[in-house]
């Protein structure tokens, strides 16, 4: 199928894009990389009469180091992150994540801002930016707004963005040089959306751990973070300690995961922690 009749505009500034979104006589949608939106338009699942292509806005394509943060524009592509064309605040985590998103053609056009705005629970950047303690920035008729990445998603495919808002960038604090990260994404074929995902950053008391692909916002694992803060090396006994910590996190959460999903998430968490210690993947037995 092909989309219904559309007009196409390419604003030169965020203010112009917001003004175009606000014109009430047309049903308008922002177009970034188009990798998720265009298939939805073709299937007529996302009605739109006007596409507002924001990829010509220079401010959304640039990235810069600002103090201890790196600010990445919303229209930076997965490919630019993959090849290191933007400053990396994450000691290589973001490069590794970009590399495993879909396949090269999608990475060439898909953007980090489009991925966050779409808020597919299985998307890689939601969990990554949450784990890195990033700040999401957006702009609308009421001015500039921000929130912590782990508070940006309110439900599957739902964020704090309002209908006239444009996600403008992501501010990511630099990881300490001695911080270690690990990540695991379970999917049947390389490059597919995840069935389960975990991301950990070992950084002493500032350690962070998240589960992704949870059918909603990434889930923060505070009990697991406490375990991570105390780990100095990897030992086989840590499998059960981390499993118990994750169970405690899920028990104290309002979110319900299916049993199979808990099992997959546990595997991801343990593999991510092992990776942070440089341990190769091993078979993880059931408890």
Ligand X SMILES: Cc1cc2nc3c(=O)[nH]c(=O)nc-3n(C[C@H](O)[C@H](O)[C@H](O)COP(=O)(O)OP(=O)(O)OC[C@H]3O[C@@H](n4cnc5c(N)ncnc54)[C@H](O)[C@@H]3O)c2cc1C
Contact residues toward ligand X (CB under 6 A) are 29-37, 54, 74, 101-102, 106, 110-111, 113-115, 117-118, 120, 123-125, 161, 166-167, 191-193
Residue nearest to ligand X (CB): 110
Cβ nearer to ligand X, comparing 101 with 149: 101
Cβ nearer to ligand X, comparing 105 with 260: 105
d(CA 228, CA 39): 41
In whole angstroms, the minimum distance from the beta carbon of 30 to ligand X comes to 4
Closest CA to 139 of 171, 162, 115, 113: 162
Cβ nearer to ligand X, comparing 134 with 250: 134
In whole angstroms, the minimum distance from the beta carbon of 206 to ligand X comes to 25
Which run of H or E residues covers position 166?
strand 166-173
In whole angstroms, the minimum distance from the beta carbon of 34 to ligand X comes to 4
Contact 208, 273 (CB under 8 A): no
Closest CA to 148 of 165, 160, 163, 166: 160
Q: At 73, is the secondary structure helix, strand, or coil?
A: strand
Cβ nearer to ligand X, comparing 75 with 239: 75
Cα 215 versus chain centre, distance: 13
In whole angstroms, the minimum distance from the beta carbon of 189 to ligand X comes to 10
Q: At 196, is the secondary structure helix, strand, or coil?
A: strand
């Amino acid at each position: 199928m092909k989309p219904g009749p559309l007009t196409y505009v390419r604003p030169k500034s965020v203010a112009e894009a917001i003004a175009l979104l606000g014109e009430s006589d047309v049903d308008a949608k922002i177009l970034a990389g188009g990798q998720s939106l265009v298939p939805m338009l073709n299937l007529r699942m996302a009605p739109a009469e006007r596409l507002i292509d924001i990829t010509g806005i220079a401010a959304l394509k640039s990235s810069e180091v600002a103090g201890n943060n790196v600010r990445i524009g919303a229209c930076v592509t997965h490919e630019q992150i993959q090849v290191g064309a933007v400053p990396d605040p994450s000691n290589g985590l973001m490069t590794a994540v970009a590399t495993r998103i879909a396949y090269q053609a999608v990475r060439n056009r898909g953007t980090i801002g489009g991925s966050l705005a779409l808020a597919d629970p299985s998307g890689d950047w939601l969990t990554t930016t949450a784990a890195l303690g990033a700040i999401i920035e957006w702009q609308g008729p009421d001015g500039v707004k921000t929130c912590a990445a782990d508070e940006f998603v309110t439900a599957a495919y739902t964020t704090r963005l309002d209908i006239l808002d444009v996600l403008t960038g992501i501010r990511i604090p630099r990881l300490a040089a001695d911080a270690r990260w690990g990540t695991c994404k379970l999917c049947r074929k390389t490059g597919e959306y995840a069935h389960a995902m975990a991301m950990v950053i070992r950084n002493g008391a500032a350690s962070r751990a998240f589960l992704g692909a949870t059918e909603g916002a990434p889930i923060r694992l505070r009990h697991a973070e406490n375990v991570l803060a105390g780990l100095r090396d990897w030992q086989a006994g840590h499998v059960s300690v981390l499993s118990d910590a994750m169970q405690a996190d899920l028990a104290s959460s309002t979110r319900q995961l299916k049993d199979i999903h808990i099992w997959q998430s546990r595997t991801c968490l343990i593999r991510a922690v092992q990776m942070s210690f440089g341990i190769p993947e091993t078979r993880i037995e059931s408890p």
